[in-house]
Structures are given as structure tokens and as C-alpha cells.
Structure 1
């Protein structure tokens, strides 16, 4: 039984670190773009995403073991915000960002 508990701890640690990494990626990425880009794609403001993802990042940091098991529910809520940003908001902002247009044009030549 100790082997199973040890394996569960390792899996939980790996998932917690992955969630933290995703939150960190989303937070840093949202800082890269200007507020005009967020408004141009009809999404919430940059300030909204910075605050939401910043709180999510803090929760993900706190959720790392040994505290993690106590606040796993909050970490899951925060993880949803990061996933929504990376799968819905980021691709739309990246598509209209002038820095990416030059790279996209060269890619297709």
C-alpha cells in the first residue's frame, strides 16, 4: 500500500508542477500584448487577464505540495482561466499582432 501512496504523491506533484507551468506561461504571454489587441478581438481587457491569470498563478504556486491537497479545488478553477486564455484568447490576439504578421508572411513564401 505504501507504493501506491508514493506513486499517487508523485503523480500529484507532477500535475501540480504542470498546472503551475501552464499558469506561468499564460501569465507571461498575456503581458506581451497591448491592450488594444485585446479590444480588437473583442475580448476582456489586458488588465482583466493580467489580474485573473496573476491570481491563478498565485493559487498554482500555493497549490504546490505540501499545501496542494488542501486547495486543489482552487487550483483547478485557476487552471481553467489559464486554459481559456491559451486556447481562446491567445490565438486570436496572436493572429492580429503586427509582430507575428511579418513572420507569418515569410513562413508561406
Structure 2
């Protein structure tokens, strides 16, 4: 029985970690990126994912934790790629149309 409790603890820890990662990713993007990606607003996702983090941390009810896991998965699989696509810069394509051969100080191929 102790092995099962340890396994459940690892599962709960993984769900908590996943919710925290989704919450942090939701907080990183600007509010206008959510509108540009035609997704629910930043406030909506921060509230939903924040509730998922709190539920995983404080409420030992598996049903609520699974609901938070589903919200986190929806954000990571659907919303995050759309935000990444419309944002550019740090998460998306480089600003200024850089190519894949560009390094931090210019092109690796000598400007060819």
C-alpha cells in the first residue's frame, strides 16, 4: 500500500508541476497576443490556471485536480502554440526576418 501512495504522490506532483508551467506560460504573453490569436483573454487563462494550481496544492480531490489538468492540457496544446505563432520575438520567429543560419551577432554563413 505504501508503494501505491508513493505513486499517487508522484502523479499529484506531476499534475501540480504541469499546472504551474501552464500558469507561468500564460503569464508571459501579452494580453494583445491572446486577442490576435483569437483565444480567450489573458485574465481568463490566468484565473483558470491559477485555480488549477491552488486546487492541486490545497484541495486533495482527484476530480478537481483532473479538471485542472484538462485546463492545463488545453492551454499547452491549443492556446500556447497559437500565442507563439502570433507573438514573434522570444517565442516565435525572429524579428526582422532572420534565417535559420543566423547567430546572435549575424549570419553564420558570412552574409551569403
User: Structure 1 unaligned runs (5+)?
Assistant: none
Aligned length: 98
* TM-score normalised per structure 1: 0.83
Superposition pairs for residues 58-97 of structure 1, below 5 Å? 58-63=54-59, 68=60, 71-97=61-87
1:41: Cα distance to partner? 1.0
Superposition pairs for residues 14-53 of structure 1, below 5 Å? 14-53=10-49
The aligned counterpart of 1:12 is 8
* More RCO (CA 8 Å, sep 6+): 1
Partner SS for 2:85: helix
Q: Which runs of 4+ in 1 moved over 6 A?
A: none
| Aligned counterparts of 1:26 and 1:102: Cα–Cα separation in 2 | 23
| Deviation digits for residues 51-90 of structure 1 (CA, Å, limit 9, x no counterpart) | 0000011001124xxxx3xx11110011100010001100
User: Structure 2 unaligned runs (5+)?
Assistant: 102-112
The aligned counterpart of 2:94 is 102
